[in-house]
Structure 1
Amino acid sequence: MGDDYLQLFVDETTLYNRIVLANLLPFKWWDPLPHVLQTWLRNYIAGTLLYLVSGLLWCFYVYYLKRNVYVPKDDIPTRKAMLLQIFVAMKAMPWYVGLPTVSEYMIENGWTKCFARISDIGWFAYLVYLVIYLVLVEFGIYWMHRELHDIKFLYKHLHATHHIYNKQNTLSPFAGLAFHPLDGILQALPHVIALFIVPTHFTTHLGLLFLEAIWTTNIHDCIHGKLWPWMGAGYHTIHHTTYRHNYGHYTIWMDWMLGTLCDPADDDWGKTK
């Protein structure tokens, strides 16, 4: 890629930086910061707001407006449990957002296969590449998640932080990002690795990374949406209970193919514990 084309990525990230920082931080004290630090600061603010706002809205809707409709009263987590999850997530957030910051840096320097505009390749090729990208991400997150369970050292020192939430009355939307920082980064890493394998639209990549915050909120609310083939909260609640099923991320396909799927519709799933 030529310098003129790479400048398109820099211009786009600069625009995102100014939209977030200029509107949320006073006095432009951040303006002298190097571009990469502005990008990290923008990702930190955006990621924090997305996590807190989406979690608060979802908890308010499920636990208060629809109390006893989706989740029985006895299965509603305590405020103490939710505050602990927020505390764990916020300690990790500065590290989490380092991943999109690094990926943006690599993209801006032309180290990946990213492209700046859909018109560069056309809508058909964009959709084909997007499907391949998502398949690679699903494959990568499944195996990363499974190895975080199977390798005892990784489970004990990283993933166990997340699995202290192992029942419905301890799981909440805020548990979605309550990980050891390195654990959260490892599970999102396939999003970045895929950039070196398949051509990916830059804005779509950023959007999908931040969609992780929304998705993890959804799959930790204990509500089984029954929308096949998506790996909804019904499946993921089983994962937190049995520890050895439903490692998938967006879909159930990897678990189905590799024999680790446990369907919440199966009345006998509890016997697999």
Structure 2
Amino acid sequence: MAAAAAHGGGANLFAVETDWYNEIVLGALVPGDWWRALPHPMRSWLRNTLSGFILYYVTGFLWCFVIYYWKRHAYIPKDSIPSVEAMKKQIAVASKAMAVYCALPAASEHMIECGWTRSYFHISEVGWPMHFVYLALYLIFVEFGIYWMHRELHDIKPLYKHLHATHHIYNKENTLSPWAGLAFHPLDGVLQAISHVVALFIIPVHFRTHIALLFLEAVWTSNIHDCIHGKVWPVMGAGYHTIHHTTYRHNYGHYTIWMDWMFGTLREPEDVLKKD
């Protein structure tokens, strides 16, 4: 495998890359040099956790500022804007779980660095055509995995009661916000993203693309919880996901509506409008 070759032949390019990330983030944000004495996986986990907090707070604040204040008359009816108290609770839930969420990208980096996966470092190793083929397969696998994990978190009652119910207390438009996107029980958040890591053992995946897509999850989940129906087919936008939060039986998908369409759980926002 490409990872094994990089690990065994001279410099481990993956470890060099993540060390560079660590130097940039931890060197800028953490006072002192004490973090350099930590084992490499711990440094990567700390960097991912700090990056996760920054991404969550910055995107959440900007998103809410635009849709609830700057453009509040353009996107969402006044009675659908969540209270500040509701948003504070969502931030608290997500913040408590962030360190656990960010163990997943740190673990995936470690497995890649050890040569256990099929990840490759340079696109030239496979060529641009196969890079896009593998990327498409990776995204399909992730979409399939998230759909079924999300559905089972509803269908398996102990999983729903002890994990997923934490997220589903936000079940009306005026309780949903971009901050709710990461307001999960920590294990729930990891389970829903774990297909990103499982895919590494099955499909050759470009390393930087994998890391970027893992963090894109945080941005995307903010998007699908903002109650703004973008109407871009086949994207699983907030119009679809809001239905999921109100019916509990539809629209389990993540990026697209295709899995719900294939497995009979799709409900169109227009269907709700007609019935209401």
Task: Give the alignment's TM-score, normalised by structure 2.
Answer: 0.96
| Equivalence map 1:177-216=2 (5 Å) | 177-216=182-221
Aligned mates of 1:61, 1:256 — CA distance in 2: 32
* Residue 223 of structure 1: aligned partner: 228
Aligned mates of 1:251, 1:270 — CA distance in 2: 23
Aligned mates of 1:74, 1:132 — CA distance in 2: 41
Contact persistence 1:168–1:222 (CA under 8 A): yes
From 108, 122, 129, the equivalent of 1:124 is 129
Structure 1: which amino acid aligns with 2:236? M
Following superposition, the deviation at residue 206 of structure 1 comes to 0.3
Q: Indicate whether 1:55 and 2:60 are aligned.
A: yes
Q: Compared with structure 1, are the counterparts of its residues 228 and 5 closer, same or farther at alpha carbon in structure 2 (3 Å cutoff)?
A: farther
* Residue 146 of structure 2: aligned partner: 141
SS in structure 2 of the partner of residue 244 of structure 1: coil
SS in structure 2 of the partner of residue 37 of structure 1: helix
Structure 2: which amino acid aligns with 1:47? G
Q: Compared with structure 1, are the counterparts of its residues 112 and 208 closer, same or farther at alpha carbon in structure 2 (3 Å cutoff)?
A: same
Following superposition, the deviation at residue 68 of structure 1 comes to 2.3
* Residue 167 of structure 2: aligned partner: 162
From 10, 15, 19, the equivalent of 1:10 is 15
Following superposition, the deviation at residue 95 of structure 1 comes to 0.5
* Residue 86 of structure 1: aligned partner: 91
Following superposition, the deviation at residue 211 of structure 1 comes to 0.2
Following superposition, the deviation at residue 4 of structure 1 comes to 2.5
Q: Deviations over 1:56-101 (max 9, x none)?
A: 0000000000112111111100010000000000110010001111
* Residue 107 of structure 2: aligned partner: 102
SS in structure 1 of the partner of residue 243 of structure 2: helix
Aligned mates of 2:10, 2:198 — CA distance in 1: 22
Following superposition, the deviation at residue 269 of structure 1 comes to 6.2
Contact persistence 1:173–1:221 (CA under 8 A): yes
Number of equivalenced pairs:
271
SS in structure 2 of the partner of residue 255 of structure 1: helix
RMSD: 1.1
From 13, 26, 32, the equivalent of 2:31 is 26
Contact persistence 1:262–1:269 (CA under 8 A): no
Contact persistence 1:222–1:234 (CA under 8 A): yes
SS in structure 1 of the partner of residue 73 of structure 2: coil
* Residue 116 of structure 2: aligned partner: 111
SS in structure 2 of the partner of residue 265 of structure 1: helix
Structure 1: which amino acid aligns with 2:41? V
SS in structure 2 of the partner of residue 69 of structure 1: helix
* Residue 252 of structure 1: aligned partner: 257
Q: Compared with structure 1, are the counterparts of its residues 201 and 236 closer, same or farther at alpha carbon in structure 2 (3 Å cutoff)?
A: same
Q: Provide structure 2 residue ranges, at least 5 long, that are not aligned to the other structure.
A: none
Contact persistence 1:6–1:108 (CA under 8 A): no
* Residue 67 of structure 1: aligned partner: 72
Structure 2: which amino acid aligns with 1:40? W
Task: Give the alignment's TM-score, normalised by structure 1.
Answer: 0.97
Identity of aligned residues (%): 66
Structure 1: which amino acid aligns with 2:223? N
Q: Indicate whether 1:40 and 2:45 are aligned.
A: yes
Greater CA drift, 216-225 or 259-268: 259-268
